[in-house]
Amino acid sequence: MKSAIELVHVTKRYGTARGVTDLNLSVAQGEVFGFIGPNGAGKSTTIRMLLQLTSPTSGEIHLLGQRIQGERAELRRRIGYLPSEIHFYAEMTGKQALELAANACGLRLKDTKASDYAERLQWDMDRKIKSYSLGNRKKLGIVLSLLHQPELLILDEPTSGLDPLIQHEFFELLSDLKRKQGMTIFFSTHVLSEVEKLCERVAFIREGELVRISDVDSLTAPGDHIAAIRFAEEGNKLEAYGLLQLDPNAAYENGVHHLRTGSRLQELLTVLAEKKVREITLRKPTIEELFMDDYREERRADQ
Ligand SMILES: Nc1ncnc2c1ncn2[C@@H]1O[C@H](COP(=O)(O)OP(=O)(O)OP(=O)(O)O)[C@@H](O)[C@H]1O
């Protein structure tokens, strides 16, 4: 399959300061790809390079089959971008802002799908921008980013300010765009649970380096669960019942034993079969928890 984004040994330095270091990444056309990392990890730097707002210090970037080198206005027209913070002329209505943007792309607003998108997001484009809540500004930004039917959509922290219902509708819209138009979506966030809902693959970036790229579905092993157990017998049983041997990070809090089974679910069940259990819940680890594991392992390796 052709790639929509290809980073080859991409490094960006700001003077002597780190931006990102030796990124290698390939996003296929039509893929929804999550880009996750804490503040300062290098997400915005990477996005700025994809948008040709800044150049890499070294390495190559290919977008939609073309290498970025110098000014590529034609390529930019095929890309949609939703910035994390959006600023508009306050006295305009949303519709006027859309008209301005449509004209700049050589389009007439009524020939675009703007009103369909606005309806799906329950956004009233006739009000003045100065009256907008954060959520409404975001909605304007979303519609603007989609106005010219881009092949590649780059979203920087797209859901901040959206309430859960609208967020859900926005994700449905993105899934439709992928399914019906084969749009590639590159999605940066530090709200890790979002990528579970939307993305097929995810890359974790930290301190400017990619630490992991993985299919969202295969982030956890089949039997891997987070268990919360309350035994009939009171008190901390982590040692006595051998739970620390199953998971060295197991913890006891307010009468509940928390642990992660990893590949040892069967062993946990054997322990439980011999004890009186009052309550138990099992759930899959979230991406946050998986990410924490990467941190822990690295910290252990550093020590
Ligand atoms: N213009 C700049 N000049 C100097 N250093 C910069 C500049 N932009 C970013 N950096 C540095 O590059 C590193 C990566 O920052 P970046 O903004 O890309 O991270 P981020 O993952 O987008 O974080 P956030 O979620 O906070 O936006 C940081 O160490 C940051 O201080």
Q: Which of 164, 133, 146, 136 is nearest to 79 (CA)?
A: 146
Residue 10 has pLDDT above 90, yes or no: yes
Residue 146 pLDDT exceeds 90: yes
Q: How far is the CA of 70 from the centre of ligand 1 (A)?
A: 22
Contact predicate 287/202, CB 8 Å: yes
Q: What is the mean pLDDT of residues 87-114?
A: 93
Ligand 1 atom nearest to 48, measured from its CA: 18
Find the 190 Cα to ligand 1 centroid distance in Å. Answer: 14
- Output the ligand 1 site: residues, CB below 6 A: 14, 17-19, 37, 39-45, 190
Ligand 1 centre distance from Cα of residue 256 (Å)? 40
What strand order describes the sheet that includes 251-253? 251-253, 256-260, 226-231, 277-283
Among the listed residues 31, 84, 297, 284, the one whose alpha carbon sits nearest the alpha carbon of residue 190? 84
The complex's ipTM works out to 0.93
pLDDT of 193 above 90:
no
Token pair recorded at residue 209: 């380096």
| Residue of 193 and 171 predicted with greater confidence | 171
The answer to whether the CB of 151 falls within 8 A of the CB of 79 is: yes
Q: Strands 209-215 and 201-206, how do they pair?
A: antiparallel
Q: Taking 80 as the threshold, does the pLDDT of residue 299 lie above it?
A: no
CA of 188 to the centre of ligand 1 (A): 14
Instruction: Give CA–CA dist 87/92, Å, rounded.
Output: 12
Nearest atom within ligand 1 for CA of residue 190: 25
**Mean predicted confidence (pLDDT) in 103-130:** 93
